[in-house]
Structure 1
């Protein structure tokens, strides 16, 4: 892939991560476990804690990816190999964590993508505000995933070939 294409993708990912970090951070800065429990009847405290933990992990991965993109974009000359590695990491950590978090508090129903519905499904009933947040981010995560899928296979191939 050419330098200009990788540069443009790095800029696109930086803008996406900036917006994502801002959105999730704003939510996390305003919400408390008590507020989540008050949103909906029932006592799903452990599940809500798990959801918040997943959100925190996701925002940390996105912050790290954002910082890496900024460093690469500020370097002169542009380092294509470093940018490709960063885009691979963003795909592997941020995108994967959004669609399939480690704790399985939610998951991706891949069949939903064909029906035009949201593909994120929850293991239990989530608080409405948290559900709205995750679903509002889905289309942008989907777009970036499609942009970066190439790096999932290409970067691994390069690493295997260099050994």
Structure 2
């Protein structure tokens, strides 16, 4: 890929991550397990895991944002560093959003056909949490499509260069 395409993708990822970190941080700063239980009666341990997963996602997004900012400030633009960062963003942020390691929610692979939201929680959740995930989902889907190259082709390129 050319420098301009990779730089453009890095700028898009930076904007996406800024918005995502803002939304996640705001939610996490204003939400407690008690407030979630007040909104919806469910298992306390499930809400602990949900909040822990959101915190982990926030950290991954903050790290990706920091990396994008550093790469975009560098002159000349370092394409290889940007590609590596975009690869990491794809695998840490996007994959963690759609398929968290904690398995607290999962992606409905049929959502594209049904027109419904892609994220399905393992247990019933409060309205505020559903709203957060729905508000994030479209931008995660968009950036996933934009960075899809880093899922397969970039990894192949790295393996072949060894």
Partner residue in 1 for 2:3 = 3
1:159: how far off?
1.4
1:153: how far off?
1.1
Partner residue in 2 for 1:35 = 35
Q: Check whether the contact 2:42–2:124 (CA below 8 A) recurs between aligned residues.
A: no
Partner residue in 2 for 1:109 = 108
1:126: how far off?
1.1
The alignment status of 1:20 with 2:20, answered yes or no, reads yes
Partner residue in 2 for 1:142 = 141
Moved segments of 4+, more than 3 Å: none
Q: Check whether the contact 2:106–2:119 (CA below 8 A) recurs between aligned residues.
A: yes
CA–CA distance in 2 between the matches of 1:43 and 1:89? 34
Structure 2 residues not aligned, in runs of 5+: none
Partner residue in 2 for 1:73 = 72
Q: State the TM-score, normalizing by the size of structure 1.
A: 0.97
Q: Check whether the contact 2:111–2:117 (CA below 8 A) recurs between aligned residues.
A: yes
1:124: how far off?
0.3
1:127: how far off?
1.6
CA–CA distance in 2 between the matches of 1:15 and 1:100? 22
Partner residue in 1 for 2:95 = 96
1:43: how far off?
3.8
CA–CA distance in 1 between the matches of 2:45 and 2:123? 11
Q: State the TM-score, normalizing by the size of structure 2.
A: 0.98
Q: Check whether the contact 2:98–2:119 (CA below 8 A) recurs between aligned residues.
A: yes
